[in-house]
């Protein structure tokens, strides 16, 4: 299979400017505190003071509104909402959801689309190796999805197309911020009070629902760390993984 669009440089080349990379597991950390930490690390990385960093963490319950968020997307339950400088629209973060913030100096020429595709590829690879039956991309929609023609083990899961991982990034001075979130064993209650990512004709899911057992964030960190490292290095090729239009069809109500 081929990449969704040809990258600016060979797919087997690292997208990172340097080889050194450090991984940190921060546990549960307040969103604003983590955002401030990201900004600090991004400045240091841009100035060449530190190597690339990848942060694994969870947040207490919070909504974050990206630059394309519409008023109709906003929460109806009174939970705090933080306006952030990443792309995308509104989403939720909370316990049981694994959040990953790569602070990466991108190689020249900077290719933001290829970077996002590599993040998606890493998630798809990690979930496939974990044993998730089928995941991929839906044309025109960001993130990683489970299609409606796959029945989750837990019958409480949606029968529509459902997002299992979300992405939103920012690149400043060639350094990435923000990143991805993977639903592991979190509640889906908080999604009921927003139009998540501006999409109202599909749903969200968790690994726990898809596999019918409790899947923790700690269980997924080693797999995702390995997949991320290989995808960013060019050792894991970006492939199509598109969910065919014929498979999507009208979502059942």
3 state SS for 150-206 = CCCCCCCCCCCCEEEEEEEEEEECCEEEEEEEEECCCCCHHHHHCCHHHCCCCEECC
C-alpha 135/C-alpha 138 separation (Å) is 10
Q: Can you give the pLDDT at residue 5?
A: 63
pLDDT tens, position by position, 50-89: 999 999 999 999 999 888 888 777 888 888 898 988 877 8
Structure tokens at 159: 């029968």
How far is the C-alpha of 180 from the C-alpha of 119, rounded, in Å? 8
Do you know the residue count of the chain?
253
Strands 141-146 and 162-172, bridge-based pairing: antiparallel
Q: How much is the average pLDDT of 206-222?
A: 97
Q: Active-site residue 184, yes or no?
A: no
Peptide bond into 109 cis (omega under 30): yes
The reply to whether the predicted model has a pTM over 0.85 is yes
Which of 103, 122, 197, 232 is catalytic? The answer is 197
142, containing H or E segment: strand 141-146
């Amino acid at each position: 299979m081929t990449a969704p669009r040809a990258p600016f440089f060979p797919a087997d080349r690292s997208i990172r400017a340097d080889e050194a990379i450090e991984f940190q597991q921060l546990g549960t950390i307040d969103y604003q505190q983590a955002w401030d930490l990201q900004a600090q690390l991004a400045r240091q990385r841009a100035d060449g003071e530190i190597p690339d960093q990848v942060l694994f963490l969870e947040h207490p319950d919070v909504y974050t509104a990206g630059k394309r968020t519409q008023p109709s997307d906003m929460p109806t339950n009174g939970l705090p909402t933080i306006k952030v400088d990443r792309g995308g629209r509104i989403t939720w973060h909370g316990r049981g959801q694994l959040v990953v913030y790569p602070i990466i100096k991108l190689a020249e020429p900077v290719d933001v689309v290829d970077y996002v595709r590599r993040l998606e590829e890493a998630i798809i690879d990690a979930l496939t190796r974990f044993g998730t039956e089928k995941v991929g991309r839906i044309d025109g929609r960001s993130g990683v999805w489970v299609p409606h023609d796959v029945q989750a083990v837990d019958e409480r899961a949606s029968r529509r197309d459902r997002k299992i991982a979300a992405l939103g990034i920012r690149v400043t001075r060639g350094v990435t911020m923000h990143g991805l979130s993977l639903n592991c064993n979190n509640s889906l209650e908080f999604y009921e009070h927003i139009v998540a990512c501006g999409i109202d004709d599909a749903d969200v899911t968790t690994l726990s629902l898809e596999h019918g057992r409790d899947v923790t964030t700690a269980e997924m960190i080693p797999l995702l760390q390995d997949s991320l490292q290989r995808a960013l290095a060019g050792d894991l090729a970006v492939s199509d993984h598109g969910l065919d239009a014929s498979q999507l069809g009208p979502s059942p109500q």
